[in-house]
Structure 1
Amino acid sequence: MPTIPPERARLSELEPHQARQMAESFGSDPERYDRARPRYPDAMVERIVAGTPGAADVLDVGIGTGIAARQFQAAGCGVLGVEVDARMAEWSKERGLQVEVAAFEAWNPADRLFDAVVSGQAWHWVDPVAGAAKAAEALRPGGRLAVFWNAGQPPPDVAEAFSEVYRRVLPDALASRQSTTASDGYSVLCTRAADGIREVGAFGEPEEWRFDWERPYTRDEWLDQLPTTGLRAQVPPAELAEALAGIGAAIDAFGGSFTMSYTTLVVTATRTHAA
């Protein structure tokens, strides 16, 4: 069973109101979201910074709780975030991040220019063409657009145990109908992002970078992050509780922990001229 988070998989299957409900669910518990969601590889941050002239001013699209933003700050960058969810934006501002509340396509750069525009686990909520055009508007010549996603894959036996729980408890949820590997599922999002960048005509040819890494999870850590995915928006609380109990029992059967293999996929391009 792949672990493309349900909010990322097969978005085309959702009605507009369902997609909106799912997107809005992520700000319902920003503290848990920030605590439980995986970070990004330091090597990815370092490569983006090293490949961007100056790399002092970064615009983070869909900053959320600031997971990626703090990593870029640690690398010496100043970061401004744009976030459509006012609850997440407020949570981040209370922790010292600069955030403006807006949908990125409608956000006004107000003549401000940045060395890099980045977006972690959020670009699929942005129109790929309008988003690339807005990024071009906000970037200095030679600046870099980099959008990225974490795709996780548990060991095969753990994946099958999770799959059995989802098929039994949540047969109508997206999680029970995934049939591709995580990286294959995210490659669709990467293709859409790259196509949008090409269509704008303000960037060089998009590149795709890949970073492979691992993270061990205890039973409690994995159950802590599951409600931060689209499951919370897709299923009633009682069914979610039953699914969490089943997943917890499955992890217990494997000794109470497992190691997730992650691939961080990056689509990136350099701004050449105005859109």
Structure 2
Amino acid sequence: MSEESTPQSEQPGEWRRRSRSFGEVAETYDAARLAYPDQLVDDILVFADLRGAPALEVGAGTGKAALAFAARGVPLTCIEPDPRMAELLKRKCAGAPVTVVAEEFETWQPDRRYGLLYSAQAWHWIAPELRWARAGEALERGGTIALFWTDWHVKDTALRAELTAAHERQHFAQRFPDEFVCSRTDGPDSWVRQELAAEDGFVDVEERTYTSAHEHSTGGFVDLLSSHSAYRIMPPGTREALFAEVTSLVDAQGGRVGLGATTRLFLARTGG
């Protein structure tokens, strides 16, 4: 299962509604979302070679990535447009070298340039016509852009089939989880790869992949689903009925769900 659909695939109003749905469940989002691999954070910092330069996070959410970078001593500016997510981020990062800015990246005006701009599970929410130019404006010459997304799947094939059937019974528009791969960051048709290749301002493009395993309780798994925008915008009655079915199915399997996760990282530097 991947993050969300790309803005190009939806009407502007629908895309904006989905992009602003996470704040409704900020605490749940923070508790349920998967952690990013430590090796990914280390690899980004080696590639960026910041030497004390600050970093910028775009779409910081509740700090799932920010705390990992801050723990390595990186001073951060975190851009998060949803005030509810930004408030939780501020509380979590209290005492860390983190400045939280509750604004849209598209209109925010930086007062300096950064050695690293990264975005965890959020770059697809930035307006396509602006995101690369805005990144170039925020980065110093030779600065690094790092974009990453995590896709996950239920490891037990029988349970996965039962969950798919439950989604179909509730007439969920997107099957679980085979047709929920909407961020399209993998494969030869990856929009991230295509857009980076088309941008003259970025060089030294690299891609890396990381795998990890996770386990959730029944409640934790339902919370994970609930943190995704496709579920947030469902009619409440339909969502509750679906989650009741999911709860019953997972409880029948012992109340634990094993997840396999793949995190894809895209790296590049500004040229010049």
Do both proteins adopt the same fold according to a TM-score greater than 0.5, normalized to the shorter chain?
yes
**What is the deviation of 1:180?**
4.7
Q: Which residue of 1 aligns with 2:70?
A: 73
| Offset from partner CA, 1:134-188 (integer Å, 9 cap, x none) | 112221222210011010011222221110110001x1433x2764585994427
- Distance (whole Å) between structure 2 residues aligned to residue 142 and residue 242 of structure 1: 51
Stretch of structure 1 that moved more, 56-65 or 86-95 = 86-95
Check the 8 A contact 1:204/1:270 in 2, yes or no. yes
| Offset from partner CA, 1:178-226 (integer Å, 9 cap, x none) | 6458599442798222333333311114221100111011112101222
Distance 1:39 1:178, change over 3 A: closer
Distance 1:179 1:162, change over 3 A: same
Distance 1:42 1:18, change over 3 A: same
Q: Which residue of 2 aligns with 1:249?
A: 248
**What is the deviation of 1:15?**
2.5
Q: Secondary structure at the match of 1:51?
A: helix
Q: Which residue of 2 aligns with 1:20?
A: 16
- Distance (whole Å) between structure 2 residues aligned to residue 62 and residue 93 of structure 1: 14
User: TM-score normalized by structure 1?
Assistant: 0.88
Does 1:87 find its partner at 2:88? Answer: no
Q: Which residue of 2 aligns with 1:223?
A: 222
Gaps in structure 2 of 5+ consecutive residues = none
Larger helix fraction of residues: 1
Distance 1:181 1:93, change over 3 A: closer
- Distance (whole Å) between structure 2 residues aligned to residue 65 and residue 141 of structure 1: 29
- Distance (whole Å) between structure 2 residues aligned to residue 246 and residue 11 of structure 1: 30
| Offset from partner CA, 1:221-269 (integer Å, 9 cap, x none) | 1012221111443212221111111111111222211210000011110
- Distance (whole Å) between structure 2 residues aligned to residue 138 and residue 241 of structure 1: 42
Does 1:262 find its partner at 2:270? Answer: no
Q: Secondary structure at the match of 2:144?
A: strand
Q: Secondary structure at the match of 1:255?
A: coil
Gaps in structure 1 of 5+ consecutive residues = none
**What is the deviation of 1:109?**
1.4
Does 1:58 find its partner at 2:59? Answer: no
Does 1:147 find its partner at 2:144? Answer: no
The aligned runs of 1:115-194 (5 Å cut-off) are 115-128=115-128, 130-155=130-155, 156-169=157-170, 171-174=171-174, 176=175, 179-180=178-179, 182=181, 185-187=184-186, 191-194=190-193
Report the residue type matching 1:102 in the other structure: E
Distance 1:119 1:190, change over 3 A: farther
Q: How many residues align?
A: 266
**What is the deviation of 1:52?**
1.1
Quick one: percent identity of the two aligned structures?
27
**What is the deviation of 1:102?**
2.4
Does 1:109 find its partner at 2:103? Answer: no
Report the residue type matching 2:203 in the other structure: G
Q: Secondary structure at the match of 1:38?
A: coil
